[in-house]
Structure 1
């Protein structure tokens, strides 16, 4: 399927505009809404610091706000960090170096030692294709590290909007983007050709005074609805009020504060290299499962109480 025929899940032009507005808001405030990205970048830095090798050339893919670049540099494992982002021409973004869309990584084959991405790749229309391009851009034994939102992220908000619209409008439209589960993302790493793929998830629960405070943070993050098939009609006050009521009824703690779930899926994979561990070939085991089971069964029988 050609790029022009590929179904569009996300409106990437809208995504770029909202990211730009989010940067303006964060620059004009204390930047507290950046907590999720800062958390993800710190996690990438910690995982990289645990790897016992160096990476001369790294790319911070989708490097908005520079959190990942700072974390990579602080790890002590990286030489040069190249930031690649949709909005690096924006002067409010410090240290930007390359205008690039993370949906279509533009790097030459086998040109990079490390690619790292935080909270960006879950919003590309062709994630399998992006992962293949990332894997091809890595030199043999190069490393890919990423954090994506996945799993049950914002399921409370999705639930509240759906029920409110059904009650007030008789039908529902999507307001929260779809998120892949951890197992599916791990399978995508394998399909893209990564060696030693790993995918795991860390759940972060954030509490807010009400649904509207959560929505303000999402806008400040540039994470408002960018679905291509979203409704263009603004929500009525009645629907918004009912959604806030449902959210509080179904997803609040005893003190009245609501919960918002963010599932941060961590991905890692290596460009194949002959030095890496390989799985054993079928039939190469030195002992059969049947032999092992017979030994266990014999030991169990020997330990059974004997009749007097």
Structure 2
């Protein structure tokens, strides 16, 4: 008797809406045309990747950079003689599908993996893009980010909280993901970046301008006037002297392809 075919693996949960994700990144790119647009998060990630490469004395001849819309990391590597390919989700690059290129000695993914539905699948495709001995460095918003905003949204929704802030990966889960997807010598760390804001509206504007708007498949209903007033009040009460400090936790995963 013929055996039945093996069952297909279950599809990943649909947490994020790909179309909303692309739209958010396109709005970000449009916002970043302004000279005074906030870009402190991507600047921090780029600086960190450059420091890690220098510490490891890595001199890649070919590199793939995903998500660095500033071009700063590509320019730094190109000045050292590295051939660089750049990819951007806003322009149709999909981390959850097999890539059309491979053989890179360095792959850097900046600020995009926190909004993919199939994070293990995306990491597998990134590993396949590496040459043997190649290094992945992936940075994105991790667990512990935006605690004041989360509290403000809970105050806004009162006893009926709605999904408004993205779920996030912590250090332990990041390590498990790298091991599960076949990376050797994984290193996982998280570092805080604090910024002060004069209002909740200023924080939300900064998030949108840096591609961190809500892209959940089920984003919840819009806040009404009363709920928005509660959120603004909770945000202001968390600060002092008219300024509220919000925290961003930048999670970085790195591992080698053997």
Both structures adopt the same fold (TM-score exceeding 0.5): yes
| 54-63 or 211-220: bigger deviation | 54-63
2:218 equivalent to 1:229? yes
2:32 aligned partner: 26
Q: Is the contact made by 1:48 and 1:72 (CA closer than 8 Å) also made in structure 2? A: no
Instruction: Look up the SS of the partner of 1:8 in the other structure.
Output: coil
1:79 aligned partner: 82
The 2-side partners of 1:160 and 1:2 are apart by 41
The 1-side partners of 2:97 and 2:106 are apart by 17
The 1-side partners of 2:19 and 2:226 are apart by 30
Q: Is the contact made by 2:42 and 2:68 (CA closer than 8 Å) also made in structure 1? A: no
Q: CA deviation at 1:263?
A: 0.3
Structure possessing the higher radius of gyration over alpha carbons = 1
Equivalent of 2:245 in 253, 259, 262: 259
The 2-side partners of 1:171 and 1:192 are apart by 38
Equivalent of 1:69 in 74, 78, 83: 74
Q: CA deviation at 1:104?
A: 2.6
Q: Is the contact made by 1:41 and 1:71 (CA closer than 8 Å) also made in structure 2? A: no
2:22 aligned partner: 16
Q: CA deviation at 1:63?
A: 3.4
Equivalent of 2:162 in 147, 153, 173: 173
Aligned pair in 2 of structure 1 residues 268, 33: CA closer, same or farther (>3 Å)? same
Q: Is the contact made by 2:96 and 2:125 (CA closer than 8 Å) also made in structure 1? A: no
Aligned pair in 2 of structure 1 residues 103, 172: CA closer, same or farther (>3 Å)? same
2:129 equivalent to 1:112? no
1:191 aligned partner: 180
Q: CA deviation at 1:50?
A: 1.9
| 58-67 or 260-269: bigger deviation | 58-67
2:51 equivalent to 1:51? no
The 2-side partners of 1:66 and 1:102 are apart by 19
Q: Which runs of 5+ in 1 are unaligned?
A: 89-98, 273-308
Q: Is the contact made by 1:42 and 1:71 (CA closer than 8 Å) also made in structure 2? A: no
Normalised to the residue count of structure 2, the TM-score between the two structures is: 0.90
The 1-side partners of 2:50 and 2:115 are apart by 22
Count of residue correspondences: 252
2:95 aligned partner: 102
Q: Is the contact made by 1:164 and 1:243 (CA closer than 8 Å) also made in structure 2? A: yes
Instruction: Look up the SS of the partner of 2:190 in the other structure.
Output: strand
2:220 equivalent to 1:220? no
Q: Is the contact made by 2:63 and 2:105 (CA closer than 8 Å) also made in structure 1? A: yes
Equivalent of 2:12 in 6, 22, 35: 6
Aligned pair in 2 of structure 1 residues 31, 58: CA closer, same or farther (>3 Å)? farther
Deviations 1:167-200 (A, max 9, x none): xxx4110111011111110111111111110001
2:3 aligned partner: none
Q: CA deviation at 1:71?
A: 4.1
The 2-side partners of 1:44 and 1:17 are apart by 27
The 2-side partners of 1:15 and 1:64 are apart by 15
- Aligned-residue RMSD, C-alpha: 2.0
Normalised to the residue count of structure 1, the TM-score between the two structures is: 0.76
Q: CA deviation at 1:144?
A: 0.5
Structure 1 segments (4+ residues) deviating >6 Å: 1-4
The 1-side partners of 2:183 and 2:11 are apart by 27
The structure with higher relative contact order (CA 8 Å, sep 6+) is 2
